[in-house]
């Protein structure tokens, strides 16, 4: 993982379909040297996958919320993970400092679908209550992963 790898990663972040030749031209390597490094980065798990960024308003998943989770007593991160894994509307979640135990970013196709997903989160044994902030307008979506 040297500066060459970082350069390759930066270029792939901007365009995951760039040819190895083009990448090599930018970082100063031959196409095959670049391919070898990319293969290694994928094998090592540094590059987790190649994907596209899709306009969320187009595929219908344009109803979002940030939800604070308040649990009873102490809750192990593993347990929260188990609960949240079962709800596909959960895009992103982490335990946090502050009064809430976790913050959950959810995305659904509609308000009813969001409410339904929220219900599935809330029904979990140790969840005491939640506080949701519905997203009115999306400002930034720098999805570098």
Partner DNA sequence: GTTGAAATCAATCGTAT
Partner DNA sequence: ATACGATTGATTTCAAC
**Chain residues that interact with its own copies, rule: CB under 8 A:** 1, 6, 9, 12-17, 45-56, 58-59, 61, 64-66, 77, 80-81, 84-85, 88, 90-98, 100, 102-105, 131-145
Measure CA 87 to chain center.
14
The CA-atom distances, in angstroms, between 126 and each of 69, 101, 116 are 10, 11, 18
Please, which residue, 21 or 56, has the CB nearer to DNA? 21
User: Rounded to the nearest whole angstrom, what is the least distance from the CB of residue 49 to its own copies in the complex?
Assistant: 5
The CA-atom distances, in angstroms, between 63 and each of 89, 119, 144 are 10, 16, 21
User: Rounded to the nearest whole angstrom, what is the least distance from the CB of residue 56 to its own copies in the complex?
Assistant: 6
Residues in 34-73 that interact with DNA by CB under 7 A:
35-37
User: Rounded to the nearest whole angstrom, what is the least distance from the CB of residue 120 to its own copies in the complex?
Assistant: 14
* In contact, 67 and 129? CB cutoff 8 Å: no
* In contact, 37 and 5? CB cutoff 8 Å: yes
User: Rounded to the nearest whole angstrom, what is the least distance from the CB of residue 129 to its own copies in the complex?
Assistant: 14
The one of its own copies, DNA, none whose footprint includes residue 4, by CB under 5 to 8 A per kind, is DNA
């Amino acid at each position: 993982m040297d500066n060459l790898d970082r350069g390759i990663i930066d270029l792939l972040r901007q365009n995951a379909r760039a040819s190895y030749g083009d990448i090599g031209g930018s970082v100063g390597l031959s196409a095959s040297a670049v391919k070898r490094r990319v293969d290694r980065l994928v094998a090592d798990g540094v590059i987790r996958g190649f994907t596209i960024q899709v306009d969320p308003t187009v595929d219908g998943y344009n109803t979002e919320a940030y939800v604070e989770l308040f649990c009873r007593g102490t809750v192990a991160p593993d347990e929260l993970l188990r609960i949240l894994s079962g709800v596909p509307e959960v895009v992103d979640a982490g335990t946090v400092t502050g009064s809430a135990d976790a913050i959950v970013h959810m995305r659904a196709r509609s308000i009813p679908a969001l409410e339904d997903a929220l219900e599935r989160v809330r029904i979990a044994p140790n969840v005491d209550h939640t506080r949701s902030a519905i997203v009115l307008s999306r400002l930034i979506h720098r999805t570098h992963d």
